Chain A
């Protein structure tokens, strides 16, 4: 793209130089072609540009604005009324709310649940390294020259495309009380009553199982892209398979690993559907109503619960906090990546 720009600049310079010597009509002709290209370029990108501006950036700005108000669906009737009323306790009320010990609208300890749900979401992130190690191993096995590797790739990818709602319904029964996992393996994760740790692990198993295929396909692509001549050179020099993998394959696979890590952390912070369908909405109870359920709600589930409760300003503020957390996590990863490049 930069090259294009340079050539564009050169073109412009050439045209300007030509202006001095050539007659006027030719200059106008060139300009018209350039102008047409500009106009059509903007026409082609206009839909995407407008869509991004309106549905992402303006929505984000509105979200920030709403988070400063005390917009409540049960008290205010119109959107404009909500927008107009800045929170009486100050701009930052909803950003300080999680540090206050109070509950709101009759739900005791609501501000406390901010930390509970955030902690739960972070716990669900454990699935990412587990899934990456597993899928790296499987991808390495698939790229050995074996038969049927294409078939295996398709099989491993099936859970990724499957509907999360259906999968979650199945999971509840598979891991449920007296279910398949209990009868065959004696693993009882969901019916554990008081303790919520096994229930969380159930969600982690689900996300790992579902996400494995996509990561495997990416790693297989990355491994296929590794330059084979390095391998041959190292083999001739007498390096064994283990050191070839760590010294030659891994450094070249690093960009793929980094991409997978960044995207899965962004996605993992937004986990919602699986726990929501297994444990029910916040703060109401679903079909798995146990005392531990409250601690299995992810952060997005909390936002959704607050939103359902009509506290739209509060929910907006939580959304903005989530955006900031995700932004910083991504930033930290990129910073670590930059430091690695320097070393």
Chain B
């Protein structure tokens, strides 16, 4: 009698927990779950029958074995501590396997970029560089005989002549030119753009002006427009005013800021006390002064995170320069690598150099990430905006 009461109470409590978690359910869903539950019960009964048929010595063995991991099976004791250790070990194994999967390709890339051909006794090529490169597992079968980093020198030479038109005094310098272009396309628009975005964020978060909501949602709705659907119109306009010949097409639009950046900094500024700004206002600081000497220093973590994220985005950008830049002179590094891959990607001697060039393009971003990983991941966790 008491047992039944207790059981029904337990059911009620459980139901309460469920209703708190998953709100109410429709009749149809409950029915579905009922069916599922019945099936489970049948399966459970079948299992019980099956377990009954297991000979007793096997049962004992299983009980001891599972008990060692903390699972109480066949009446054995359940140990919470052991159970936790068991799950911890499984968790670590999965995470480490996943982590190796994430990191190993980068190591492979670096190792493969050092590959060179293998020569036989007569000094002829026995295995070519491409084969040595792609069969690399931890270290290539043979590195280049001209030095460990010969492929990197070769990569720069190849990149320099990626486009024949880019010369200075008869000397091809496409690699350095593309590096300069990449820096131009990432530093200028990102610096100016983050500043303008921060100013807009300040206005959205701390100022009260007519039409604020309208402007905010007007700008926010723009993220619904995908880039491929506006790039052709943009290209037509840019080419008719000559921006595609001198890289301005990659610089100017970014200087106007991005709504996602502004949105993130705005979220950050909401958490900032308004009292500081009011105090500054009373002391006679104008809005510009408030922005420059209070908001920017105080929102520095958010601004830094957005700066680095946008910088990485611009550095890795591929489609926009592919469409907007028509002159070889103004093409960024990503296009140079793509060009190299098309011409030498399957070349038996130069393929490792292409890999070396990819490592070169990757390195600055990885170093930046290593330095600022805390800021970047913290900012993504704070807002869920990743660009």
- Kindly identify, within residues 221 to 239 of chain A, every residue whose CB is under 8 Å from any CB belonging to chain B: 221, 224, 230, 233-234, 237-239
Interface-located stretch among A19-27, A95-103, A108-116, A147-155 = A147-155
Assess whether A251 is interfacial by the CB under 8 Å rule. Answer: yes
> Contacts of A66 on B, CB cut-off 8 Å?
232-233, 236
Mark contacts of B148-185 with chain A using CB atoms, 8 A cut-off: 1 yes-contact digit, 0 otherwise. 00000000000000000000000000000000000000
Quick one: given A60-B225, A146-B92, A155-B102, are A79 and B236 in contact (CB under 8 Å)? yes
| C-alpha gap A144/B24 in the complex (Å) | 29
> Contacts of B323 on A, CB cut-off 8 Å?
304, 307
Assess whether B218 is interfacial by the CB under 8 Å rule. Answer: yes
- Kindly identify, within residues 56 to 84 of chain A, every residue whose CB is under 8 Å from any CB belonging to chain B: 56-57, 59-60, 62-63, 66, 71, 78-80, 82
Q: Which residue on B lies nearest to A44, using beta carbons? A: B203
Quick one: given A66-B236, A154-B377, A230-B21, are A144 and B229 in contact (CB under 8 Å)? no
> Contacts of A174 on B, CB cut-off 8 Å?
105, 108, 134
Assess whether B302 is interfacial by the CB under 8 Å rule. Answer: no
Assess whether A161 is interfacial by the CB under 8 Å rule. Answer: yes
Assess whether B120 is interfacial by the CB under 8 Å rule. Answer: no
Mark contacts of B198-234 with chain A using CB atoms, 8 A cut-off: 1 yes-contact digit, 0 otherwise. 0110111001111111011011001011111111111
Give the distance to chain B from A305, nearest Cβ to Cβ, in Å: 12
| C-alpha gap A172/B137 in the complex (Å) | 15
> Contacts of A37 on B, CB cut-off 8 Å?
207-209, 287
Contact of B232 among A164, A220, A270, A319 (CB under 8 A): A319
Mark contacts of B226-255 with chain A using CB atoms, 8 A cut-off: 1 yes-contact digit, 0 otherwise. 111111111111011000000000000101
Assess whether B293 is interfacial by the CB under 8 Å rule. Answer: no
Contact of B358 among A55, A71, A169, A272 (CB under 8 A): A169
Is B256 within 8 A of A158, CB to CB? no
> Contacts of B296 on A, CB cut-off 8 Å?
none
Assess whether B349 is interfacial by the CB under 8 Å rule. Answer: no
Give the distance to chain A from B71, nearest Cβ to Cβ, in Å: 13
Is A62 within 8 A of B222, CB to CB? no
Is A1 within 8 A of B212, CB to CB? yes
> Contacts of B218 on A, CB cut-off 8 Å?
49, 52
Q: Which residue on B lies nearest to A306, using beta carbons? A: B232
Q: Which residue on A lies nearest to B88, using beta carbons? A: A146
Give the distance to chain A from B227, nearest Cβ to Cβ, in Å: 7
Of A63, A163, A168, chain B has the most CB atoms within 10 Å of the CB of A163
Contact of B215 among A8, A45, A167, A327 (CB under 8 A): A45
Interface-located stretch among B37-45, B52-60, B362-370 = B362-370
Contact of B210 among A38, A156, A270, A273 (CB under 8 A): A38
Give the distance to chain A from B305, nearest Cβ to Cβ, in Å: 13
Assess whether B18 is interfacial by the CB under 8 Å rule. Answer: yes
| C-alpha gap A234/B120 in the complex (Å) | 71
Give the distance to chain B from A202, nearest Cβ to Cβ, in Å: 13
Interface-located stretch among A85-93, A122-130, A175-183, A193-201 = A175-183
Assess whether A13 is interfacial by the CB under 8 Å rule. Answer: no
| Chain B contact surface mostly | helix
Mark contacts of A317-343 with chain B using CB atoms, 8 A cut-off: 1 yes-contact digit, 0 otherwise. 001101100110010000000000001
- Kindly identify, within residues 55 to 88 of chain B, every residue whose CB is under 8 Å from any CB belonging to chain A: 87-88
Give the distance to chain A from B6, nearest Cβ to Cβ, in Å: 12
Give the distance to chain B from A117, nearest Cβ to Cβ, in Å: 12
Assess whether A131 is interfacial by the CB under 8 Å rule. Answer: no
| C-alpha gap A220/B381 in the complex (Å) | 8
Contact of B318 among A164, A221, A320 (CB under 8 A): A164
Assess whether A269 is interfacial by the CB under 8 Å rule. Answer: yes
Quick one: given A48-B262, A319-B229, are A173 and B215 in contact (CB under 8 Å)? no
Assess whether B123 is interfacial by the CB under 8 Å rule. Answer: no
| C-alpha gap A45/B87 in the complex (Å) | 52
Q: Which residue on A lies nearest to B218, using beta carbons? A: A52
| C-alpha gap A174/B112 in the complex (Å) | 10
Mark contacts of B8-42 with chain A using CB atoms, 8 A cut-off: 1 yes-contact digit, 0 otherwise. 00100110011011111110010000000000000
| C-alpha gap A146/B226 in the complex (Å) | 40
> Contacts of A178 on B, CB cut-off 8 Å?
131, 134-135
Is B361 within 8 A of A163, CB to CB? yes
Give the distance to chain A from B118, nearest Cβ to Cβ, in Å: 15
| C-alpha gap A266/B207 in the complex (Å) | 32
> Contacts of A330 on B, CB cut-off 8 Å?
224
Is A55 within 8 A of B256, CB to CB? yes
Of A59, A60, A156, chain B has the most CB atoms within 10 Å of the CB of A59
Is B319 within 8 A of A300, CB to CB? yes
Is B212 within 8 A of A59, CB to CB? no
Quick one: given A38-B209, A41-B209, are A158 and B384 in contact (CB under 8 Å)? no
Contact of A160 among B20, B225, B359, B386 (CB under 8 A): B386
Assess whether A136 is interfacial by the CB under 8 Å rule. Answer: no
> Contacts of B230 on A, CB cut-off 8 Å?
55-56, 59-60, 63, 319
Assess whether B284 is interfacial by the CB under 8 Å rule. Answer: no
Is B213 within 8 A of A40, CB to CB? no
Is B131 within 8 A of A157, CB to CB? no
Is B355 within 8 A of A56, CB to CB? no
Contact of A163 among B26, B103, B316 (CB under 8 A): B316
| C-alpha gap A233/B319 in the complex (Å) | 51
| C-alpha gap A277/B342 in the complex (Å) | 8
Complex A-B, nearest 7 residue pairs according to Cβ-Cβ distance, in ascending order:
A51-B256, A41-B209, A319-B229, A44-B203, A166-B358, A62-B233, A221-B381
Taking A47-B199, A63-B232 as given, write out 19 further A-B residue pairs in contact, using a Cβ cutoff of 8 Å, ordered by the A residue number.
A37-B209, A51-B196, A52-B222, A55-B253, A141-B95, A144-B91, A156-B98, A158-B369, A169-B358, A170-B108, A170-B358, A177-B134, A239-B14, A256-B384, A266-B226, A304-B228, A312-B232, A343-B23, A343-B25
Residues of B within 8 A of A (CB): 10, 13-14, 17-18, 20-26, 29, 87-88, 91-92, 94-95, 98-99, 101-103, 105-106, 108-109, 112, 131, 133-137, 196-197, 199-200, 202-204, 207-213, 215-216, 218-219, 222, 224-237, 239-240, 253, 255-257, 259, 262, 286-288, 291, 312, 315-316, 318-319, 322-323, 334, 337-338, 341-342, 345-346, 351, 354-355, 358-359, 361-362, 365-366, 369, 373, 376-377, 380-382, 384, 386
Mind listing 29 A-B residue pairs with CB under 8 Å?
A1-B216, A40-B203, A40-B287, A45-B203, A47-B200, A51-B196, A51-B255, A55-B256, A56-B225, A60-B229, A71-B236, A79-B237, A156-B102, A158-B102, A161-B366, A162-B316, A164-B316, A164-B318, A166-B358, A170-B358, A177-B134, A180-B134, A214-B380, A237-B17, A251-B23, A287-B342, A312-B232, A312-B236, A343-B23
